[in-house]
Structure 1
Amino acid sequence: MEITPTIRAEIEGYLKQKGLSMTQFGHITNLNVGTVSGIITGNRSLSVNQLDRITLGMNLPPDYFYERFVEECVEETPLNWRRIKPFLYRCVELGRLDCLQRAVSMFLDNPVYTHSLFELAEDLFHKGYRDTAAYLYENVAESERKQHSERLALCQYRLFSIRIGKDQAQNLQTAAKFEPFVDRLDEFDQLDALKDLANVYRSLSMWDKVYKFSRQMYKLGRIQYGLVHNSKREIKLDKKLSRPLFVYIAYAELLCANACDATGDHERALEHIRGFTDLSWVKEADSDTLYWLDNFKQWSKINSYVNKLMSGDISILPDYVEHIAGEKEIFAELLNIIEAANRYNMNVDHILQRFEPQIAAYQEVSSSDMYTQQFLPQQYVRFWYKMAKYSLNKGRYPYGFKCLIIAFEKAVTINHGLLIANCVGLFERFKAYATPEILAQYDMWERIDQKDGF
């Protein structure tokens, strides 16, 4: 077995091979000769900055010595967070998660370093290194002694944010795991967490959960808004919320309205719509507030149309169509129209013809935002599923099956159990009218569904 030389031995061998003095090598690496001498003789500890300069001076890959640095300067020496922290950042920059994990493991058993590891995770999370941050959050949570601590809850919130994606079955597990920790967050983190949880359950059509967490968000938002504006002394927000404080109150009402409309409680939905229609109580007047007020004004109008339409009032359909005609994003509204058409046996061919170019070009839009990332894919499936149902019910089998295959394929891809079941049920209902080609496509996706255990 070949013995790997130490970092110091390899540096010394390099100088001999190249015939370089320590002074000459110091000029190459921009290190003074005393530092070079101290590193080679072992009388001076080696920092990652010095190591990087030496590695560059020897024309080696940047991470060439990193595994040996962990062995010699982390595992075999007394723990020194200030010295090792820069090394961890370099591991992240160079994609050496293996070296980071080995180095971090030395600090995990000592609770003195829990806060430092958590702060590192927070910094990496906000800089976009989410996978590395997740590893740190998991280990901080595991080593956290106080099981009801706010830091433990924040670790779980970050892990929830990182793990939410397009796989809806995984999203359900992730949300359920995070739920018990929501109440342990501080009030402002809790507002964002409740918003995120409600949105995840909205994408899963779990309307009881949507209503539950939206009401919690509403009550907490009202309390905090009252404290900020009605206290005898000025209260400043210590933390930066992702939105103005009033938005959480109004958005909670909007989500409650959505949940009630989805479950057929249209009268109760109307009460919640009124709750975010009248925002005269909002005291702020900055540009961010005005932006959100304008959004809620538009959402109020649309939700009022939807509420009446889903209640069976089809007289508002022309006004609703004219309203959405000027909008850039129309598919959520078209979905509502098609759903109402299926529910009340309406003919909306003229509306579909009017928007035929947009429908033909409809593609799922990618996004890095957590909510849109997991909401838009299921909306895409629902749109094509409703289009399939509408077309098949009217005997337009080729187009109806085309829409259904699109919906089924995407439902399997995002692992959405309810939508998969809906697609299968609709296909079985009209299976007798399917061509051999359609049957073959359906069988292929059904095999994929069963293979992956969805």
Structure 2
Amino acid sequence: MELDLNGFNADSLVQMLKASFTLENWDSMLLIADKLYTEINTFYKINQQEQLSGKRVSGFGLNRNIVYYFGYSMCLKGIALEKLGRFNEARDCIAMYKDLGWINGIDAEGQEEVNYYREIAKGNQYIIELNEGNVSVLPDYLAFLRNTKEEVMPGVLYILDSAIKYRFNVDHVLEEFSEQITAMAEYYETQRNIRYYIDYSYLKARYFSINDRIDDALNIIVQSLATSVKLKDDRGFKKSAALFETLRGQATSEQLDKYLGIMKYILD
């Protein structure tokens, strides 16, 4: 069924994009991002016409600087395309928010948004390369993450995903960012950031499982299952439970007891 986006304003569309990202609904993200871009581009053109004619420029009730909406719409669309494996299209989106300096009338707040999306574009370019198996960009991406702390958790997720897919070692990455991620655990154990936190545990367990660290993998899965129950995250629970089942034959009695305890808790 086609998503009906009529009647939603720009800020509502932003919230819908965030919700779709959390639910990993990539197809909906594409529709919402396009609608947001069209909406904000219409506002921008009206503003430009008003300035040329000397009229008072309309604000349209936006909560953020107009640059933000241009950047956010194309950034989230690019992420959705990348998740769908449509890498060349994702690159086209990156090109659209890599340099937003073309927007007229940018103030100090708008310039901050321009700078922010320029940096995010760099990171997302590395992500696409990693998705395609170009491991040579890993040192540059790590340098990017060291200077962009808020991107550490999603960045490590992308690195783990690539390492699982192309079978290369990233123990040094996990070691380097371990303390930082642990320190942020409480922040990520929230509904808003649940996707990052659960996916980190799941991917780390998968990575350990293919690198003959089965005991470590199972311990992480059990903890991930408990966290998924606590945060009522069904999607994360299903993935972790499926991974545990594939490794069940190598689980210790203690790990099996913890696993069964979680299942009994759900039934009760």
**TM-score higher than 0.5:** yes
Matched residue type, 1:184: G
Question: Which residue pairs with 1:258 in the alignment?
Answer: 79
> 1:3 corresponds to which residue?
none
Identify the match of residue 210 of structure 2 among 393, 397, 401. Answer: 393
CA distance in 2, matches of 1:201, 1:430: 31
- Structure 1 residue aligned with 2:67: 246
Contact 1:203–1:374 (CA<8 Å) still a contact in 2?
no
CA contact (8 A) 2:99 2:114 kept: no
Query: 1:296-340 deviations in whole A, cap 9, x for unaligned?
Result: 111111111111111211110111112212333311111111111
Counterpart Cα distance in 2 of 1:292 and 1:194? 18
Amino acid at match of 2:26: W
Deviation at 1:220, TM superposition (A): 0.9
- Contact 1:364-1:376 within 8 A present in 2 as well: no
1:407 and 1:423 in contact (8 A); partners too: yes
Relative distance call for 1:282 and 1:382 in structure 2 (3 A) is same
Residues of 1 paired with 2:106 and 2:38: CA distance?
23
**Per-residue deviation, residues 158-198 of structure 1 (Å, max 9, x unmatched):** xxxxxxxxxxxxxxxxxx9xx75x5234xxxx101111001
The two structures, once aligned, show a CA RMSD in angstroms of 2.1
Identity of aligned residues (%): 23
- Unaligned runs of 5+ residues in structure 2 are none
Matched, 1:211 2:30: yes
Structure-1 separation of matches of 2:205 and 2:123: 24
Tell me the residue number matched to 2:221. Answer: 404
Deviation (angstroms), 1:345: 1.0
| Structure-2 separation of matches of 1:198 and 1:450 | 34
Aligned counterparts of 1:447 and 1:215: Cα–Cα separation in 2: 45
Shift of 1:247: 1.5
If asked which structure has higher relative contact order (CA below 8 Å, sep 6+), I would say 2
Q: Which runs of 5+ in 1 are unaligned?
A: 1-175, 368-372
* Post-superposition offset of 1:235: 4.4
Tell me the matched-pair count: 264
Q: TM-score, normalised by structure 2?
A: 0.90
Q: Which of these residues, 296, 299, 305, is aligned with residue 117 of structure 2?
A: 296
1:321 aligns with 2:142: yes
Please point out which of 93, 97, 101 is paired with 1:280.
101
Q: Which structure: larger Rg? A: 1
The partner residue of 1:338 within 136, 139, 160 is 160
Answer yes or no: is 1:444 the counterpart of 2:261: yes
Alignment of 1:367-386 (within 5 A): 374-386=191-203
Give, in angstroms, the shift of residue 414 of structure 1. Answer: 2.9
CA separation in 2, counterparts of 1:434 and 1:288?
Answer: 54
Q: CA deviation at 1:405?
A: 2.0
Rounded Cα–Cα distance in structure 2 between residues aligned with 1:196 and 1:350: 36
SS at match of 2:185: coil
Closer, same or farther: CA 414–284 of 1 in aligned 2, 3 Å: farther
In 1, are the aligned partners of 2:29 and 2:80 still within 8 Å (CA)?
yes
Cα offset, 1:403, TM superposition: 1.7
Equivalent residue of 2:76, what SS?
A: helix
Q: Deviations over 1:141-174 (max 9, x none)?
A: xxxxxxxxxxxxxxxxxxxxxxxxxxxxxxxxxx
Q: 1:419 to 1:366 in 2, by over 3 A?
A: closer
Residue 402 of structure 1: CA displacement? Answer: 2.1
Post-superposition offset of 1:282: 1.3
CA pair 326-390 structure 1, distance change in 2 beyond 3 A: same
CA contact (8 A) 1:335 1:386 kept: yes
Query: 2:178 is matched with which residue?
Result: 356
Match of 1:365 among 187, 194, 207: 187
**Contact 1:225-1:246 within 8 A present in 2 as well:** no
> 1 CA distance for matches of 2:6 and 2:54?
27
Distance 1:268 1:220 in 2: 21
- Give the 4+ runs in structure 1 shifted more than 6 A: none
**Equivalent residue letter for 1:217:** L
